């Protein structure tokens, strides 16, 4: 797997690589510091052999999960067996067979010289979390925010008013230029989605 085929976004400090895996087309991202070569993988979703190859090529040091739904965690046993530690929020930890550390709200995941800020966004699951790149307007939103609305809340632990509050109070306060990289599908921006919040509330999903 050539690195150039997975590169999705980059600036002078950072590369973000993307692969789409599994039966429901999960986006898996690798955030890599260009200065140190260190990287973090976001959501060990599926196709573990492919993800392990990516981890080896890009210098992944750890794995962080946006939430604990089955389609985002299928590769966790294999990546842990390969020596990579996995972090997840306390509220979603019981959804995983195993993990190594707990991700706290408003903390920092250091990736070489990069800093990913954690943003708790419950609603899709009780422990859903987004990750904001410190030096650039980029947000990894998991299944909290997509083009055209919030993630589904019909599954156990989901709550529509809660996800709306998370999006409104935590995500829509970010700069309008912020690039949103969701857990499935295409990119969007905060500025594109923010004007539609009332429409989402009115339709109820």
Summarised one tens digit per residue, pLDDT across range 133-151 is: 999 999 999 999 999 999 9
Summarised one tens digit per residue, pLDDT across range 85-121 is: 999 999 999 999 999 999 999 999 999 999 999 999 9
* Domain residue spans of the chain: 3-203
pLDDT at 1: 43
Summarised one tens digit per residue, pLDDT across range 27-46 is: 999 999 999 999 999 999 99
Is residue 24 within 8 Å of 74, Cβ to Cβ?
Answer: no
> In whole numbers, what is the pLDDT of the chain averaged over residues?
97
pLDDT at 4: 63
pLDDT at 2: 45
Rounded to the nearest angstrom, the gap between the alpha carbon of residue 86 and the centroid of all alpha carbons in its chain is: 13
pLDDT at 145: 98
pLDDT at 3: 53
CATH number listed for the domain at residues 3-203: 3.60.15.10
């Amino acid at each position: 797997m050539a690195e150039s085929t997975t590169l999705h976004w980059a600036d002078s400090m950072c590369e973000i690589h993307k692969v789409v895996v599994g039966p429901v087309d999960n986006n898996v991202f690798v955030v890599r510091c260009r200065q140190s070569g260190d990287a973090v993988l976001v959501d060990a979703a599926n196709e573990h052999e492919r993800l392990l190859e990516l981890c080896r090529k890009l210098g992944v040091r750890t794995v962080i999960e946006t939430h604990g739904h089955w389609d985002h965690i299928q590769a966790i046993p294999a990546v842990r067996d390969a020596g990579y530690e996995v972090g997840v929020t306390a509220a979603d930890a019981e959804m995983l067979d195993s993990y190594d550390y707990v991700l706290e709200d408003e903390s920092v995941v250091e990736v070489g010289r990069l800093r990913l800020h954690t943003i708790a966004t419950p609603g899709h699951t009780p422990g859903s979390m987004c990750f904001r790149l410190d030096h650039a307007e980029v947000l990894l939103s998991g299944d909290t925010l997509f083009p055209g609305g919030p993630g589904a809340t019909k599954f156990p632990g989901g709550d529509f008013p809660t996800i709306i509050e998370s999006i409104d109070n935590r995500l829509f306060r970010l700069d309008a230029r912020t690039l949103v990289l969701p857990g499935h599908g295409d990119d969007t921006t905060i500025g594109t989605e923010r004007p539609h919040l009332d429409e989402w509330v009115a339709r109820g999903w």
